[in-house]
Copies of this chain bind each other. A is one copy, B any other.
Amino acid sequence: MKGLAMLKIGEIGWIEKDKPKCGPRDAIVKPLALAPCTSDVHTVWEGAIGDRHDMILGHEALGVVDEVGNEVKDFKPGDRVIVPAITPDWDSEAVQRGFPSQSGGALGGWKFSNFKDGVFGEYFHVNLADNNLAHLPEGMSLESAVMITDMMTTGFMAAENAEIGMGATVAVLGIGPVGLCGVAGAALRGAGRIFAVGTRPKAIEVAKEYGATDIISYKDGDTAEQILEATDGAGVDAVIVSGGGPDILIDALKMAKAGSKIANNNYYGKGVGEKDTIPLCRVNWGFGMADKDIVTGLCPGGRVRMERLADIISYGRMDPSLMATHVYKGFDKLEEALLLMKDKPRDLIKPVVLLDE
């Protein structure tokens, strides 16, 4: 079968591989909708997680079940499914500790395009089908549903980790698709005022649609200063960090109230200096004592999460299809879509590739 792969750091290409094999509790799935992710860009062009060779890329997919193992109960060939980017080993010790996404080691729930082939192939393998797949609700738009798999779950996670009180003031740094889902997530957790930091007109339009009340641009000066000024010096109750360079936490700490959460869902593709670090500002962190907690996570995966986020769409809480600014038809358009994600034209939020069933 064919797949779009990372050949090595900095290089992608189409390769041929054997169709993956199905374990007793697993499934083989054919893609129905695919979306490239900034993570793919970090992985390939920044070498963020180290080198990989001939690894098929991609971790955002809807699909049609092609084959299931003999212990799978709830899915059968032909079922249309939502495939989470993160597919934990539900029988691992990390689950018992409360951290499914970290099953089998740090980021271990992230299998696709990390340490096994991703979803950008004609077929792909899903571990623990009953626990990780969710049925695609009938009639749900593919452009919407594919956003569940990573963008929504990642963006919402930060809003959840931010422990937003009803009516609290929130800043979202970065309004790429994950940041936009952070905005939507903040509104869905009951935020009052929401600052969204970004400059791209299309993203700003969607941010407002999702609940942003104030748009902040670096072009108007230091973003933290602007937010402090807009809040009469008080700052914000929570910061969602969904973009920015390796020193973005400096900004976050500056605008956060003493007594706040800084919820990161940024994937740091690179750090500062040769020691490859992410710096905190000692003074704005209150010398380590200002109750500004920095909370993180890898996006929650698994079946229940997918089902619940599908309900978010089904019951009209959010319309994620607004982010699908570039929709392609056909598997062979995948490379173009991925390069678009890398190049980030100003009107792009998220490219989606739809495939024939």
Contacts and interface: CB of A to CB of B under 8 A. Distances in A.
Interface in A34-68: 48-49
A188 B160 contact: no
A93 B302 CA distance: 9
A202 interface: no
Interface string A295-310: 1111000111101111
A91 B90 contact: yes
A278 B288 contact: yes
A269 interface: yes
Contact of A289 (B194, B259, B297): B297
Interface string A312-324: 1011010000000
A346 interface: no
A213 B131 CA distance: 27
Given A93-B304, A128-B91, A168-B308, A285 B291 contact: no
A156 B166 CA distance: 8
B96 A291 contact: no
A296 B48 CA distance: 28
Contacts of A48: 287
Contacts of A283: 276
B296 A291 contact: yes
14 contacts: A94-B259, A97-B257, A160-B166, A166-B309, A167-B307, A169-B311, A187-B317, A189-B190, A193-B311, A213-B315, A268-B282, A277-B281, A288-B296, A290-B296
A279 B279 contact: yes
Copies per assembly: 4
Contact of A105 (B258, B309, B314): B258
Interface of A: 48-49, 90-91, 93-102, 105-108, 128, 130-131, 156, 160, 165-169, 185, 187-194, 211, 213, 237, 246, 250, 257-259, 264-272, 275-283, 285-298, 302-305, 307-312, 314-315, 317
Given A90-B95, A102-B257, A291-B298, 12 more contacts: A48-B287, A97-B165, A101-B291, A185-B190, A213-B315, A264-B288, A271-B282, A275-B279, A278-B285, A289-B297, A291-B296, A293-B295
A165 B105 contact: no
A256 to B, nearest CB: 10
A317 to B, nearest CB: 7
A96 B290 contact: no
Contact of A296 (B192, B269, B292): B292
Contacts of A294: 293-295
Nearest to A190: B188
Contacts of A268: 282, 285, 287-288
A166 B185 contact: yes
A96 B304 contact: yes
